[in-house]
């Protein structure tokens, strides 16, 4: 009988397991159903081919674009080149070897290149080979082939519903004195509509809930639970099939990172069998299993409904269907458990006693332990309220039980119960045999035994307390196991934290994507960072084309890693531990002097990079201007800027040496309102009329769009850097009205003197109370206005500086062509600008900032005739 099968220890054990699952399940959910660190995605990595093809050498994109796999069954090794063209891996008859001198060995260890690169990992050093496998096959995260950032590419963010070609990539292999070139593409492929899968989920849930109201409620609920486990097993198996590793590693992928399936599936199967046999109480175990599997699947795998690919051996739509069925059946079971209990549970049963009470009272009702008669329980009566007869059939206990019915198993159980002695806790009179009992009492016992009530569903106060306690203990054990099993996820680009420290503030955790159509640090981030360091370099004597290319690769790789808050593995990295990237950007530029060096022809210098002319009144220091290369390192934290600049300077050796560097600062995040114009050291709002990214003509003003420009510059920008010393003592000697006339704006609000607010267009024809121009003829904003300079405009980003007793402005102006931007405006200002009495231009530099690059590529790659990847 069910009573003997689902005894109290079994029920408590199942409840204990349910508590463990409820607490442990979510702990494993976040790491489940990813392969190689990537789950469902709209990014698609495609391998076009390997040229020339060699029988026995095969390259494939695996793990949903997360890795490349090279298999070499020939008798000659294949050498994979790293990011600086250095040998990275050898794959051949004696297995796989990695070069510990190659930075790629460490960067390729995880999906996001967050592994620390040791200080002795120098791509120019002699290889240090280390064997890692005896098999002639190697899988690695090649960052040239996939999107590494958590932010979308600019073009995708602008229109995510359209397909986009993100980049074309190339990986070179060396085999038997030949170069084998693998080419491919990284694309954005929009996913399907999720509506059909929402409908399948809802339909599955409704069918399970509806089954509770049929005469086969227990069997259908059990079938739904069995189907849920079967579909979840198929889904997990399909993921295990595309997981790298041996049988134990794939088994781990099949069962989950913390082996949660070992708890969920077996107890779910046991619960399904017992529910099918009528165990109503175990519907709650089915509810727990369903809720856990549905929540885990929804958290991890629901994105497959609207994304174009996922790591699974199943076809895309079949994979989406398994997710919908697991979520739908799980939600249905979560709702069905309480409904099944409410509809099919029997009423509370009180045992009849054979104590020496009044036989008439016993016949009329139930004798209490003290011998007093208790009222007769209506649950033993038929629907018309008449008590059950002595030897007749027992009427249905209520509508729910009448629907459930009494099967042969129940009759057999009742027969066994008639022959069983009464429990000894009912008083001394219970010691007699059944044959000694009065006929009336025997009839009462027979009626109670023949009732279709199911003992496993009878939960008294003690049973309920025990069940609740078991569930609580299980939850505590599960939570403890989940905490113990959880650890750092190496494939997640998380900011390193020091144990015991509080989480970073939002300013510290802010990240700016290094890759994109344009370099970061020009128009992004929208709010200018609080700290800046400009570093200009001269190439070292004898540096060739390969050396310059290697330097640009190193800088690009390091800038990407630093921008994600990841250290580079050098002493001093603890400086940024716990500080976060703080909106760090690194922008790389080329000076006019680069052309004609390092194998770059002087004739290749673009017209936009023509050196600036001399302007009246400037007093330039040649030692603190110009340069072959430049780095702009900006962030919201001075320590982050210092550390990043120092690391990048270190990486420049021996190819380049510092020519000059300058630090700048402006208001920190949170000091002024978002979007507010910052003030310079004269107290004036600086940058009011800047072009804005939302403006229709922003791109052609700031970025090079000329089709005649070299490829490496199209999408880039020209930067003019000026250190402008402010004669603050002289400026402070002016009264407020005089200062406002020099600039042409109110000092408090930034509004033009012609009236209005800060962003009100200036009315240069407006007159004041005395009849003169409201904005004087020599006012700074009048002379700098595009209207008086044939539309010339620049994106000005200024930082203040101090140098001993000196202070002023680091003037940075971005434009598509200085000949149409900075040069005409500065010529006009140099002559009659009223502000000239209070400033001095002391240094000047011009740099071409190449267009942005895609993951795996490097800034300036097109300069060497390579496609940016």
Q: Which one, of 628, 599, 581, 552, lies nearest residue 853 by Cα?
A: 552
DSSP state of 154: H
Question: To which residue do tokens 């850097």 refer?
Answer: 721
240 token code pair: 């295990």
828: number of CA atoms within 13 Å, CB side?
A: 20
543-571 burial, b if ≥16 CB within 10 A, otherwise e?
beeebbbbbbbbbbbbbbbbbbbbbbbee
Start-to-end C-alpha separation, the chain: 70
What gap in Å lies between CA 330 and CA 225, rounded to an integer? Answer: 8
| From 258, 300, 628, 686, active-site residue | 686
288 CB contacts (<8 Å, ≥6 apart)?
A: 18, 21, 22, 337
Residue position matching structure tokens 């510059």: 713
Q: Helices 439-450 and 408-419: crossing angle, nearest 10°?
A: 150
Tokens of 120: 């002795």
Query: Closest Cα to residue 108, out of 133, 80, 131?
Result: 80
Grouping H, G, I as helix, E, B as strand and the rest as coil, residue 479 is: helix
Please say whether the beta carbons of 171 and 144 come within 8 A: yes
CA distance linking residue 202 with residue 61, whole number of Å: 36
> What is the side-by-side order of every strand in the sheet holding 164-175?
43-51, 178-188, 164-175, 78-81, 87-92, 95-99, 129-133
Instruction: Write b or e for each residue in 130-146: b if 16 or more Cβ atoms lie within 10 A of its Cβ, otherwise e.
Output: eeeeeebebbbbbbbbb
Instruction: Show the tokens assigned to 432.
Output: 């007699």
Cα dist from 857 to 164, 363, 398, 549, whole Å: 18, 92, 74, 11
Of 206, 277, 281, the closest CA to residue 458 belongs to 281
**What would the two tokens of residue 505 be?**
């503030």
816 within 8 A of 713, measured Cβ to Cβ:
no
User: How distant, in Å, are the alpha carbons of 35, 222, 307, 545 from that of 322?
Assistant: 18, 19, 15, 54
Whether 417 contacts 449, CB under 8 Å: yes
Reduced to 3 DSSP states, what percent helix, strand and coil does the chain have, rounded to the nearest 5?
Answer: 40, 20, 45
Burial class, 470, CB count within 10 angstroms (exposed 0-12 / middle 13-18 / buried 19+): buried
Distance CA 745, CA 307 (A): 52
568 close to 701: Cβ distance less than 8 angstroms? no
CB of 821 within 8 A of CB of 608? no
Helix pair angle (316-344, 217-241), 10° resolution: 150
H helices of 345-460, where? Answer: 359-364, 399-404, 408-419, 439-450
* DSSP tag of 210: H
Encoding tokens for residue 201? 């989920």
Alpha carbons within 13 A on the beta-carbon side of 463: 14
Q: At 655, list the tokens.
A: 């190819």
CA–CA dist 480, 258 (Å, integer): 13
Give the C-alpha separation, 77 to 94, whole Å.
9
- Cβ neighbours for 813, distance < 8 A, ≥ 6 positions apart: 719, 720, 722, 794, 795, 796, 797, 821, 822
Tally of residues, the chain: 869
686 is catalytic: yes
For the annotated catalytic residues, the residue numbers are 686
């Amino acid at each position: 009988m069910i009573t003997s099968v689902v005894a109290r220890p079994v029920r408590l054990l199942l409840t204990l397991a349910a508590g463990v699952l409820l607490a442990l399940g979510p702990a494993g959910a976040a790491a489940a159903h990813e392969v190689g660190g990537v789950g469902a995605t709209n990014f698609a990595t495609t391998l076009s081919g390997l040229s020339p093809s060699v029988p026995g050498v095969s390259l494939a994109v695996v793990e949903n674009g997360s890795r490349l796999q090279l298999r070499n069954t020939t008798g000659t090794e294949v050498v994979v080149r790293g990011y600086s063209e250095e040998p990275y891996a050898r794959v051949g008859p004696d297995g796989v070897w990695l070069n510990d001198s190659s930075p790629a060995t460490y960067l390729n260890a995880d999906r996001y290149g967050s592994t620390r690169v040791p200080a002795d990992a120098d791509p120019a050093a002699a290889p240090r080979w280390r064997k890692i496998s005896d098999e002639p096959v190697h899988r690695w995260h090649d960052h040239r082939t996939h999107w590494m950032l958590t932010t979308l590419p600019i073009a995708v963010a602008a229109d995510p519903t359209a397909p986009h070609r993100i980049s074309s990539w190339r990986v070179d292999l060396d085999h038997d004195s030949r170069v084998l070139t693998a080419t491919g593409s990284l694309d954005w492929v929009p996913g399907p509509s999720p509506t059909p899968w929402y409908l399948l989920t809802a339909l599955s849930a409704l069918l399970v809930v509806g089954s509770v109201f049929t005469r086969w409620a227990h069997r259908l609920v059990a079938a739904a639970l069995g189907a849920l486990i079967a579909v979840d097993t198929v889904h997990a198996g399909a993921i295990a099939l595309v997981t790298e590793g041996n049988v134990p590693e794939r088994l781990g992928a099949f069962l989950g990172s913390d082996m949660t399936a070992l708890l969920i599936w077996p107890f779910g199967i046991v619960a399904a069998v017992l529910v099918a046999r009528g165990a109503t109480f175990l519907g709650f175990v089915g509810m727990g299993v369903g809720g856990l599997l549905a929540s885990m699947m929804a958290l991890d795998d629901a994105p497959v409904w609207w994304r174009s690919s996922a790591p699974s051996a199943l076809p895309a739509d079949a994979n989406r269907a398994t997710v919908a069925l697991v979520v739908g059946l799980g939600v249905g079971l979560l709702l069905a458990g309480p409904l099944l209990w409410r509809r099919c549970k029997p009423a509370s049963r009180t045992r009849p006693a054979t104590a020496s009470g009044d036989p008439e009272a016993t016949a009329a009702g139930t004798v209490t332990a003290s011998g007093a008669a208790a009222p007769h329980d209506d649950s033993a009566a038929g629907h018309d309220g008449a008590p059950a007869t002595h030897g007749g059939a027992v009427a249905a206990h209520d509508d729910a039980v009448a629907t459930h019915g009494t099967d042969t198993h129940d009759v057999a159980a009742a027969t066994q119960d008639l022959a069983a002695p009464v429990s000894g806790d009912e008083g001394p009179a219970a010691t007699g045999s059944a044959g000694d009992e009065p006929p009336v009492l025997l009839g009462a016992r027979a009626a109670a035994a023949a009732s279709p009530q199911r003992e496993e569903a009878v939960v008294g106060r003690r049973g309920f307390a025990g069940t609740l306690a078991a569930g609580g203990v299980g939850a505590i054990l599960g939570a403890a196991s989940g905490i113990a099993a959880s650890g750092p996820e190496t494939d997640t680009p998380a900011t390193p934290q020091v144990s015991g420290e509080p989480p970073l503030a939002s300013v510290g955790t802010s990240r700016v994507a290094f890759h994109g159509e344009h370099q970061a640090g020009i128009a992004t981030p929208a709010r200018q960072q609080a700290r800046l360091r400009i570093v200009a370099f001269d190439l070292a004597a004898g540096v060739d084309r390969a050396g310059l290319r290697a330097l640009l690769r190193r800088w690009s790789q390091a800038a990407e890693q630093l921008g994600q808050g990841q250290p580079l593995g050098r002493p001093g990295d603890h400086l940024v531990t716990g500080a976060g990237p703080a909106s760090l950007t690194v922008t790389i530029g080329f000076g006019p002097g680069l052309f004609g060096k390092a194998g770059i022809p002087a004739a290749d210098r673009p017209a936009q990079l023509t050196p600036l002319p001399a302007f009246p009144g400037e007093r330039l220091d040649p030692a603190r201007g110009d340069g072959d290369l430049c780095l702009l390192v900006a962030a919201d934290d001075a320590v982050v800027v210092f550390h990043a600049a120092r690391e990048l300077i270190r990486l420049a050796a021996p190819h380049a040496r510092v020519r000059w560097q300058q630090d700048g600062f402006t208001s920190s995040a949170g000091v002024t309102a978002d979007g507010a114009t910052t003030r310079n050291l004269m107290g004036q709002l600086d940058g009011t009329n800047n072009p804005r990214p939302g403006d229709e003509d922003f791109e052609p003003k700031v970025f090079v769009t000329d089709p005649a420009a070299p490829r490496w510059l199209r999408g880039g920008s020209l930067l003019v850097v000026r250190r402008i010393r402010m004669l603050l003592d002289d400026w402070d000697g002016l009264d407020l009205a005089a200062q406002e006339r020099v600039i042409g704006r109110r000092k408090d609000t930034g509004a033009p003197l012609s009236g209005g607010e800060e962003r009100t267009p200036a009315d240069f024809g407006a007159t004041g109370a005395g009849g003169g121009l409201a904005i004087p003829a020599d006012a700074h904003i009048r002379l700098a206005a595009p209207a008086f300079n044939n539309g010339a405009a620049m994106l000005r980003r200024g930082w203040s500086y101090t140098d001993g007793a000196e202070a002023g402005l680091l003037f940075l102006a971005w434009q598509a062509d200085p000949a149409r931007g900075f040069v005409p405006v500065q010529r006009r200002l140099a002559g009659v600008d009223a502000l000239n009495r209070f400033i001095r231009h002391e240094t000047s530099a011009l740099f071409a900032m190449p267009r942005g690059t895609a993951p795996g590529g490097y800034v300036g790659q097109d300069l060497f005739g390579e496609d940016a990847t």
